[in-house]
C-alpha cells in the first residue's frame, strides 16, 4: 500500500488585550485571516479623555469568552483544529495583558495546545504579512499611541530596534495636541483631518537629535504647539486650528519619513513596512508613498486600517512564525509590560 500524505492546514489562534481592545483571531497558514474579532472599549474610555487601565482590565474580563467564541464560529473550526495559541505577553498595560495571557494559558492547558507568547510590536509588523509576503531585509516604521520605532529585520522572527522615541510616542503627541485644540479623544484622526484643509504656515521645531541617530523625540514639538496656542491667546490673536494641525503634522511626518529614508538607504532593504495605529494617518501614508514611489526596487507595504490598529490577527501572524521556529511558552507565562522584542532572535 502506498503512503497517503494529507495536506494539513495550520490554524493559529491569536489573543490580544494589551490596551483597550479585546481581540481574538484565527489565521490559516500564516497569511490567511479566517477570523478577526475586535471588541473595542473606546466608547467607555472617551469620557475620561484616555484609556483608564483599571477600567480596561474590567472590560477585558467581560468580553474575553464572548470574543473567543465569536472567533471560532467565524472561522468555522473548533479548538481541536488549532495548532497553537499565540498571545500578546507585552508590552502594554499589565492588568489588561493579564486577562489575555491567563485566558490563553487556560485554553492551552484544557486542550493541550502549544502556547506562544508574542511581542505586541512584532505583531504590528506581522500585520503586513496578512497583506503581502515579506521580503528581507526589511525596515519597519512602527508608529502608534505607545510606540515610535524603526525596526530592522534581516529574516523572519528576527528584530533589531535601530531607533525609538526618547520621550513621547508620536500617537501620544497627537493626543496631547488634540487636547490643546479641544478636539475629542482619540485626537489623531481629528488632527489628520484638520491638517488636510490647513497650510503648514507656523514654524515648529523638528527634533533630529545627534548626527546619525535614528531615535525620535516629540515632547519638544508638543510643548511648542502648546506655547504657540498660549502666546497667541495672551496677545488676543487667534490661530487657525487647521493651520496649526497642518504645521504639527508636517513636523512629525518630516522627521518620521526623513529618518526612514535614511535607514532604508543605509541598511539596503528590499521592503518598507508601515505598522501601528498611526499608520491610519493619511498624511503619513501620502508622504511615504511619495518618498518610496520613485525609489527603484523598494516595495512599500501599508496594511488596511483594521490591521493597523490593535487586532489579534497580527498576533497570530507573528505567532505562526515563532511557533514554526520552535518558540514555546509554558503555563508560567506572565504579562510583561517591558518585554524586549529581541528575546527570540536566537531561536
310 binds, options other proteins, Zn ion, none, Cβ within 5 to 8 A by partner type: Zn ion
Binding residue for other proteins, selected from 23, 27, 39, 101, defined by CB under 8 A? 101
According to DSSP H, which parts of 7-119 are helical?
42-46, 53-75, 94-111
| Contact region with other proteins (CB under 8 A), list: 5-13, 44-52, 129-137, 289-297 | 44-52
CA distances from 334 to 104, 107, 306, 329 (A): 11, 15, 27, 10
If one asks whether residue 6 binds other proteins (CB under 8 A), the answer comes out as no
Q: Counting contacts by CB under 8 A, is residue 343 touching other proteins? A: no
- Residue 62 in the binding site for other proteins (CB under 8 A): yes
In whole angstroms, what is the distance from residue 305 CA to residue 76 CA? 25
Judged by CB under 8 A, the chain residues 75 through 94 that form the site for other proteins are 79
Q: Residue holding cell 518585554? A: 339
Interaction of residue 24 with other proteins, rule CB under 8 A = no
Whichever of 231 and 330 has its CB closer to other proteins, that residue is: 330
Stretch that binds other proteins, among 33-41, 98-106, 125-133, 147-155 (CB under 8 A): 98-106
DSSP string, 271-304: EEEEESGGGG-HHHHHHHHHHHHSSTT-EEE---
Angle, CA 290 vertex, CA 213 and CA 311 arms, to 5°: 75
| Euclidean distance between CA atoms 176 and 156, whole angstroms | 36
- Phi, psi of 274, rounded to the nearest 5 degrees: -105, 130
Considering only residues 108 to 167 of the shown chain, the ones binding other proteins according to CB under 8 A are 109-112
329 lies in the binding site for Zn ion (CB under 5 A): no
Residue closer to other proteins (CB basis): 112 or 237: 112
Cβ nearer to other proteins, comparing 94 with 239: 94
Rounded Cα distance between 284 and 271, Å, is: 17
285-324 mask for other proteins (x: CB under 8 A)? ----------------------------------------
Residue number with CB closer to other proteins (111 or 154): 111
For other proteins, the binding residue among 69, 233, 265, 340 (CB under 8 A) is: 69
Does 73 contact other proteins by CB under 8 A? no
57 binds other proteins (CB under 8 A): yes
Q: Of 277, 315, 295, whose CA–CA distance to 87 is shortest? A: 315
Mapping DSSP onto H, E and C, the string for 184-204 reads CCCCHHHHHHHHHCCCCCCCC
Q: Which does 162 bind (CB under 5 to 8 A by kind): Zn ion, other proteins, none?
A: none
Contact 307, 131 (CB under 8 A): yes
CB 203: neighbour CB atoms within 10 A? 9
**Shortest Cβ 96–other proteins spacing (Å):** 10
Rounded Cα distance between 61 and 236, Å, is 50
* Residue 285: contacted member of Zn ion, other proteins, none (CB under 5 to 8 Å, by partner type): none
Does residue 42 bind other proteins (CB under 8 A)? no
Does residue number 89 form part of the binding site for Zn ion (CB under 5 A)? no
User: Helix 53-75 to helix 94-111 angle, to the nearest 10 degrees?
Assistant: 30
Per the rule left: phi > 0, alpha: psi between -120 and 50, beta: everything else, 258 is alpha
Positions touching other proteins (CB under 8 A) are 47-48, 52, 54-55, 57-58, 60-62, 64-66, 68-69, 79, 95, 98-99, 101-103, 105-107, 109-112, 330-332, 334-335
* Residue ranges that bind Zn ion, judged by CB under 5 A: 144, 310
Amino acid at each position: 500500500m502506498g503512503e497517503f500524505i494529507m495536506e494539513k492546514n495550520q490554524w493559529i489562534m491569536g489573543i490580544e488585550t494589551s490596551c483597550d481592545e479585546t481581540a481574538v483571531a484565527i489565521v490559516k497558514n500564516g497569511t490567511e485571516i479566517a477570523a478577526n474579532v475586535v471588541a473595542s472599549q473606546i466608547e467607555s474610555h472617551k469620557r475620561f479623555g484616555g484609556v483608564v487601565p483599571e477600567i480596561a482590565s474590567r472590560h477585558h474580563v467581560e468580553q474575553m469568552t464572548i470574543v473567543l467564541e465569536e472567533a471560532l464560529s467565524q472561522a468555522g473550526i473548533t479548538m481541536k483544529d488549532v495548532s497553537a495559541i499565540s498571545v500578546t505577553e507585552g508590552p502594554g498595560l499589565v492588568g489588561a495583558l493579564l486577562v489575555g495571557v491567563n485566558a490563553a494559558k487556560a485554553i492551552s492547558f484544557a486542550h493541550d495546545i502549544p502556547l506562544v507568547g508574542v511581542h505586541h510590536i512584532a505583531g504590528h509588523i506581522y500585520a503586513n504579512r496578512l497583506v503581502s509576503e515579506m521580503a528581507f531585509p526589511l525596515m519597519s516604521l512602527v508608529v502608534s499611541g505607545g510606540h515610535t520605532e524603526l525596526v530592522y529585520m534581516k529574516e523572519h522572527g528576527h528584530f533589531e530596534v535601530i531607533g525609538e522615541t526618547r520621550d513621547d510616542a508620536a500617537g501620544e503627541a497627537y493626543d496631547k495636541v488634540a487636547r490643546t485644540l479641544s478636539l475629542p479623544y482619540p485626537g489623531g484622526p481629528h488632527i489628520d483631518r484638520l491638517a488636510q484643509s490647513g497650510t503648514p504656515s507656523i514654524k515648529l521645531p523638528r527634533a533630529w537629535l545627534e548626527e546619525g541617530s535614528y531615535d525620535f523625540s516629540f515632547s519638544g514639538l508638543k510643548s511648542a504647539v502648546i506655547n504657540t496656542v498660549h502666546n497667541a491667546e495672551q496677545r488676543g490673536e487667534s490661530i487657525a486650528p487647521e493651520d496649526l494641525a497642518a504645521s504639527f503634522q508636517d513636523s512629525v511626518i518630516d522627521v518620521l519619513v526623513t529618518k526612514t529614508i535614511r535607514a532604508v538607504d543605509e541598511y539596503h532593504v528590499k521592503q518598507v513596512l508601515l505598522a501601528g495605529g498611526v499608520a491610519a494617518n493619511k498624511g503619513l501614508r501620502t508622504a511615504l508613498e511619495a518618498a518610496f514611489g520613485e525609489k527603484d526596487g523598494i516595495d512599500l507595504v501599508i496594511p488596511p486600517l483594521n490591521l493597523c490598529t490593535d487586532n489579534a490577527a497580527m498576533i497570530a501572524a507573528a505567532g505562526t512564525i515563532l511557533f514554526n521556529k520552535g518558540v514555546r511558552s509554558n503555563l508560567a507565562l506572565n504579562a510583561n509590560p517591558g518585554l524586549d522584542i529581541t528575546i527570540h532572535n536566537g531561536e
